[in-house]
Each structure stands twice: as C-alpha cells, then as structure tokens.
Amino acid sequence: MKNFSVTLWMGVIFASSPLVFSQHDAGWCGTDHKMKEYIADNPQLAIDFEQLNQWIEDNSEFIMSTSESGEYYIPMVVHVIHNYGTENISDAQIVDAIRILNEDFNKQNADTSSIVPTFKPIAGNSKFVFRLATKDPSGNCTNGITRTPSLLTYDANDDSKLISWPRSKYFNMWVVSNIYTESTTSVTAGYATLPGFSSDGTDGIILDDNYVGSIGTSNGSNFNKRVLTHETGHFFNLMHPWGYTEIGTSCTGSDFVSDTPPTKGAFSTCPLTKDECGQLENVQNFMDYASCTNMFTNGQVTRMTTAINSSSGQRSSLWKSANLTATGTSDPYNYPANCAPIADFKTNRYSVCAGTSFTLTDQSYNATPTSWNWTITNGTQTFTETVQNPTITINDPGTYDVTLTVSAPGGNDSETRNGFIYVYPATADFSSYLYEDAFDNGPISNGRWSNQYDWSTTVGWEETTLASTSAPNALRVNNYGSQKGISYSILSPSYDFSAIEGTPTLSFKYAFARRSNDNEDRLRVYVSNNCGQSWNVRWSALGSDLATTTNKTSNWAPTSTSEWKTITLNNLSAWGSSNNVRFRFEFNSDGGNNLYLDDINIVGPNIGIDEIANTALALTLYPNPTQSELTLIFDAPASGSYYVSLADMTGRTILTTQEMHTSAGQVSQKIILPTGISNGMYFMTLFMGGHSVTTKVMVQP
C-alpha cells in the first residue's frame, strides 16, 4: 500500500517519540529494529533511503520495460556460525532452503493454487534465481557454504558475521543458533539489511537455524521455511505491508507499493477474509507474518527489480555476466563443484578419565570425504583410525593432539588440534586442601592446571605478574583486543573431597573491567566429578555484574585491592563425598577488558585460608620469622619422596632441595636459606606424593 509520502515516513523515523513495535513484530523479523539501530548510529542512512525510494519511483517503469524477459542470477554464499551443535546445519538443509527460495521468487511454489481469487491476478514472478557459488573470492573451488566456530552463534547480531565475502559479488547469508538485537530482547528469527543500510562485511541476511528450509532443525512449517523468502524480500528493498506502524493496530502504514492493500498485518494465523482496513487484506503476502504466506505482488516485484538495478548496496553488481563467471554461477551451472574437503571435527568429550572412551566426529565440509585418517598422540603413544567417527579408549593419562586428514575426488585436507583431548588419572591428583596463594607454584607451566582452547584461537589463560592480590603471580585472560565470541577455559587438578571433613568450600578472587557498557563478557565456574565428561555450573556473572571496577578503555591491570572481588561458593555439598573433583573456570569474551584470577582455595567447614598450611599434612615452620635457617615439620601420610622449594615475591625460585625419601609419620627437615638472602616475604612449598602445600616465610635481620 502506498498511501503517504516518503518524507512523512522520514518524519516518523525522526519523531521525538521512539518507534513502537509489537511483541509479535519483535519475535520474528528483526529488520525494522536493525534499521532503527542503523539510523540512530548514522542519520545519513535515512536521507539515503529517501533518495533510493525516489530513484525507484523515477526509474521503475523504464527498468521493468527492459527486463521483462530476463532472469537475474544471484550468486549466494551461506556462512554457518556454530559451536558444533545442532546449529551447524547440514548442506542438505541449506540446499533445501535455496530450493524453496527459488520456487517462491519465481512463482513456482505449489501453494500458489491456494491464493485467494482477488489476488491471483497480481501474484508476481521476480525471475530472481539464487545459486550457491562454486568459486570463492580467490577463485578457489567452493560449495558456497562456509563454517566458522564461535560462541557468538548464541547471541548473534552483526558482530557474529565473522566471515563475509564481497557484497558486490555475493549475496551473503549467515546461519546462527540465536539472534539478538539491541532494540528487543525477544527471540528473532532473522533480519536483513536493506540496500545502503549496511557496509560491506555485514550486508546480507542472518537467520536462526530453525528458520532455514523445511528439513533438519526446521520444523518444516510454512511459517518457518519462508523466513528466508521474507528476509530476502527485505534485502531487495521490500517493507512490511503495514509499514512502520505497530503490527495489528493501524491501517495507515506504507510499504511504498501501489498494489498491496492497506493492512494491519496478521501473525501466525491465516485470516483469508480479513478486511479491517476497508478492503480484503493480502495476508498471504510473503512480507506479512501470516502462517499461509505464498506470494509477492507485481508491485513488489517491480520494487525488487528496480532495487537490483540500483547501485545502492552494490545490488546491481551481483547479476552481471562477469561476476557470474567469477563466482561460478553462470550457465551451465553445475552444483556442487568437484572441490577438496576442508577438514573439521568435534568430540563428545574433551576430557576423560583414563580408561574411558570418547568419540571423534568428522565435521568436514566443502565436499563429502571418501576417506578418513585420524592420528591421536601425546608424543609417546600414538593411535590411528581410518573410520569416519572413531570411538577411542586411552588408558594412559596425558594431553593428546588430534589430526584428521580427509580425502575426496577433488583433493584432501588436514587439521591438527594440539591438546585436544585431556586424559586424566582415574584417581585424584590431590587429597589435601587446595591452596593457590597467588599461584606461586606456576600452575600452568608445571602442568597442574591446563588450558582447554577454543579452536578458533590458540591463546588461553596465562600466568602474569602484572596483577595479584598477594604475590607474585596471578592468572589472566588477555582479553584486551580479543575477538568477541572466543571462549577461554582452564581446568584445575583433581581433588579427593572424601578426604576433607565436612562439605568443602571453594573461594577465589578475580578482577575484571569492561571497556563499554555494551560488553557482556561472562565468567563461569563449573565442577565435575567424572574427569570432565560432564560439568555443572556453580557460579556465573555477566556484564556489569562481572565488572569489579569502572570501564577501562586502555589495556588494563588492577592496581589496588579495591578492584578485586572475592567469591565464596558453599554449594558443593553434592560433591562432598566424591573422590575425583575438578573445577573449570570459563571466560567468554564480548569485547571487554582483561580478566585476572587469583587466590583459589578449597577448604573444609570452619577452616580459614590461613589455616590451610597447618591443616594439610600438619605442616609447621619454625622459627618464622627467621634469619638464616628454619625447620620444617610435617606428617607424611605414607612412605614416599618429597622435596621443598622457596620462591621470592616475583615468583623466582631461589632454593630447591634434593628429593628425599621418608616413611609414614612425622618428618623433620632442616632448611638452610641461601647466603645473602634479602629481608622480606618468601613462599615455601612442600611437594609430596602429588600433593603440595605452600606457606609464607618471613626473613628478618
């Protein structure tokens, strides 16, 4: 319906009162909301849009008269952003979606027979033909589908468009698990960028995977399978039939199309006799929200055809002959091309107990592999498999690298992921309390804690002296400048909680700053009692709740104790009797600043942190303070070897004793301090039988 001017619509956009959208509108198509966000960030876009509409008004008749018999071939690429879940939809589901899109745009959909008689004469055929590319921007063979792992799939918006091919050559589409827009917190099925509303890199459409095609993760309903058709209409400059009024409330909205009747719109119903605006409404229009959409009008086809002939958003570059050749979409079109596969894989368990099986699953794409070669090794032991999805059992603890080589008639490819599988001892590493006072024992460098990488990066948690609540070390995620959507996980050693009297308590300190109020970085703490085969969240903080100080725009480290926060978790009773408990600290980046972690401690009830050293192994030092020597006394729970190290405030080890053997019982060991040792605080650690206890030593004149 075209019942008021573009200038009036512009007035609505810039009115002092914000645009109002219904919950139904927010719950399906997010295009209106994104337009509002784009214009708020760049008011010039509204002026450009008015000029485009005027250009369409002036040129549509000429363009239609010169393109009535021709088809527009449109090269397309689909980018799947996933975290190896169901959102990593199959090639078949994508191909099915493109089939439906082509049928709808060419009036070949079988349900055109059900178009109500009033609108059958004006049902339009756009003659747009969408083809998945068979050549990528570098001219390499492709099946027109890329796959990129990222946590941004779960709260997707323009930031989730991590890969994009030039919009002058390809119609970009992104598939994600869940879409988020700033204008609404409702679930959104998808949104598009209208011509000229987005720059190269984000121009295209983005869809929730449940609204792609009619198979796979889609429920196959008319509503779900035609979101792609609806959003593609937006991409080629179509509005909702009710314009920018609130759906279901007004008959005065405009979509700038002459043959779409006034409508309030329908949502998830099919009121074929609806005439609330004085005449029969075209609820079957693809740009409506009804459950029975099945047509474009001739006027909408004119508007889309004019848009594809406009340079706005470089739409007119897509269908040119040279570009069809460059993208492999010209006739004769042979899909899929004979490409080499791109190796990719996942596992059902990143960490297991020794003797427990795990399964590796081929996730290769770009071609269907015909052979698979797996190598799993820790440098000492090597396992090989040649089936597609092998199940493997490893009895020896260690960190294992995994390599997959896949082959197909078009070529082969290999992918190696270091430290991909962690095989842990079936028995706990420690039976005493955990006392990570400033991580004085170098937990990562000595292998006691282990990074579990997000496979889009090889950067994880790191030891740092830049900030600590005590001294000398802390752990850090160097999040400043990190790519959004990356996950950083670090796994603790395992602990025998059954050796702790009563229910244990976990405490830790952390410091974090956001860079802006938009940052929604998250820290979670998990616990597992089966070597990481399953995890339970015990604590989580997000965005402003996670921040411990004001926003910091430069590369940040805390400089005072006030910028740290202490967390104490008393909700571990379900694991109180478990003999192999492990913790995971997981940080999910959303563009904030650095995160620091320190002073992780596990204690029993009514036992303070300062009492740990005196409780675990009954360790005693005297005299303390001392000048040149001291005596260490502890209770050895069994016969075995032990040694002692001494570190200064910077973490530098200044003394390590020889490894000594003792029988069970009380042990007394005299320690001579290095000659010329400076006055101050030091950290002495006793290592025995896989256990360690650290305590402070003061050296005074």
Residue 453's alpha-carbon distances to 76, 559, 644, in angstroms, are: 32, 28, 32
Tell which residue, 230, 220, 306, has the closest CA to residue 265: 230
Rounded Cα–Cα distance for residues 327 and 317 (Å): 12
The pair of structure tokens assigned to 595 is 């995160």
**Residue at 226: amino acid letter:** R
Task: For residue 686, report the phi and psi dihedrals to the nearest 5 degrees.
Answer: -100, 125
Beta bridge partners of 636: 665
What does the block give as tokens for 174? 């992104």
Going by C-alpha positions, the residue among 409, 410, 402 that lies closest to residue 385 is: 402
278 torsion bin: left (phi>0), alpha (psi -120 to 50), beta (else) = left
| Short-list 379, 422, 427, 428, CA closest to 397 | 422
- CA dist 648 and 472 (Å) reads 8
One-letter amino acid of 256: F
At 490, give phi and psi (nearest 5°).
-130, 135
For residues 684 and 672, give the distance between their C-alpha atoms in angstroms, rounded to a whole number: 12
Q: What is the DSSP letter of 18?
A: P
- What is d(CA 594, CA 511) in angstroms, rounded to the nearest whole number? 8
SS3 assignment, position 334: coil
**Coil, strand or helix at 316:** helix
User: For residue 57, what are the contacts with CB-CB under 8 A and spacing of at least 6?
Assistant: none
What H or E segment, with its residue span, contains residue 323?
helix 321-327
Pair of tokens at residue 133: 């590319």
Tell the burial category of 551 from Cβ atoms under 10 Å away from its Cβ (0-12, 13-18, 19+): middle
Q: For 617-664, where are the E strands, in sequence order?
A: 620-622, 629-636, 640-647, 653-656, 660-662
Compute the residue count for the chain.
701
Exactly one of 87, 231, 520, 563 is catalytic; which is it? 231
Whether 231 is catalytic is yes
Q: Which residue has the tokens 């450009």?
A: 48
Please, which residues have CB within 8 angstroms of residue 643's CB and are 6 or more apart in sequence? 656, 657, 658, 659, 660, 687
Helix (H, G, I), strand (E, B) or coil at 160: helix
Rounded Cα distance, 305 and 144, in Å:
24
CB atoms within 10 A of CB 570: 12
Tokens of 206: 């983005």
**Run of H or E residues at 462:** strand 462-464
Nearest to 491 by CA among 450, 461, 459, 463: 450
The residues annotated as belonging to the active site are 231
